[in-house]
Amino acid sequence: MAPGCDEAGEFRAPPLDGGPTGEGPRGWRWFCLDHIREFNSGYNFFEGMSADEIHDAQRPYSGWERETRAFASTGADRPPSWSEFADPLDAIGARFRNKVQRARRDGKPLSERDRRALQVLGLDTNADRSMLRSRYSALVREYHPDRNGGDRTHEKALQRVIEAYQQLKGSPAFA
C-alpha cells in the first residue's frame, strides 16, 4: 500500500528489499490501480545490471539452461510423493504398480518401440528369445516373395517384420 492511500491494494509489486532469501512466500507490496501504474512506469528490471547481464537476460533461450528433472527411462514415472500414505484398499498404489509392471519384462525395461515391435510380430510381453526367433522365421516364410510364388504384395509387411525383429533382437529385454 502506498503511503497516504486509502484504496484497497489489488495489484502486487516486488518488495523493496527483494524479499526473503530462504524458503517461503515473497513479501509482496500491494498497490491500488493508480499507484501500481505509477510504480510500473518507474520500474526497471535491468536496473543495476551490466551490459552483459542485460544481454544474457534478453536472449530468446534465456532460462532454458537450468537443469530440470529427468524423464523416467522405464516408461513409468517415479512413485508420487504421497505413495507412502496408508491406502487400505490399494486404490492408489495398485495403479502405479501395474504401470511399472507393464513397463518391464523380467525386470528389464521394455520401451514403447519394443511394445510396437512385439505387436507387429504378434507376440506377448512374456515371449522369450526362442519364441521371438521362431515367430520371425514363420512370418518371413509367409511374406517373402521367394517363398510365396513371387507375390510381392506383402513386401511392406515383410519390411515391418524385419524392422521389428531387429528392434527386439537388440533390446535389453531380449538379451
Task: Give the pLDDT confidence score for residue 104 in this predicted structure.
Answer: 55
Q: What gap in Å lies between CA 94 and CA 96, rounded to an integer?
A: 5
pLDDT digits (tens, 9 = 90+) for 90-148: 776 677 666 666 655 555 667 888 888 988 999 887 788 888 999 999 998 888 888 77
Query: Is residue 44 predicted with pLDDT exceeding 80?
Result: yes
Task: Give the pLDDT confidence score for residue 25 in this predicted structure.
Answer: 61
Residue located via cell numbers 512374456: 126
Task: Give the pLDDT confidence score for residue 163 in this predicted structure.
Answer: 93
Q: How large is the angle between the packed helices 129-143 and 155-169, nearest 10 degrees?
A: 160
Q: What gap in Å lies between CA 36 and CA 15, rounded to an integer?
A: 13
Contact by Cβ (8 Å): 138, 158: no
pLDDT digits (tens, 9 = 90+) for 70-90: 665 555 556 556 555 666 777
CATH 1.10.287.110 segments of the chain: 100-174
Task: Give the pLDDT confidence score for residue 164 in this predicted structure.
Answer: 92
Q: What gap in Å lies between CA 175 and CA 173, rounded to an integer?
A: 6
100-174 belongs to CATH 1.10.287.110: yes
Task: Give the pLDDT confidence score for residue 142 in this predicted structure.
Answer: 87
Q: Which residues in 72-90 are b (16+ Cβ under 10 Å) and which e?
A: eeebbeeeeeeeeeeeeee
Q: Phi and psi of 115, rounded to 5°?
A: -65, -45
Proportion of the chain above pLDDT 70, given as a percent: 68
12 vs 17 pLDDT, higher one: 12
Cα→Cα distances 133→32, 37, 51, 85, 162, Å = 74, 73, 64, 45, 11
56 alpha carbon, distance to own chain's centre: 27
Q: Phi and psi of 121, rounded to 5°?
A: -80, -10
84 vs 152 pLDDT, higher one: 152
What is the residue-averaged pLDDT of the chain? 78
Q: What gap in Å lies between CA 84 and CA 71, rounded to an integer?
A: 21
Proportion of the chain above pLDDT 90, given as a percent: 14
Complete DSSP assignment for 39-61: HHHH--TTTT--HHHHHHHHSTT
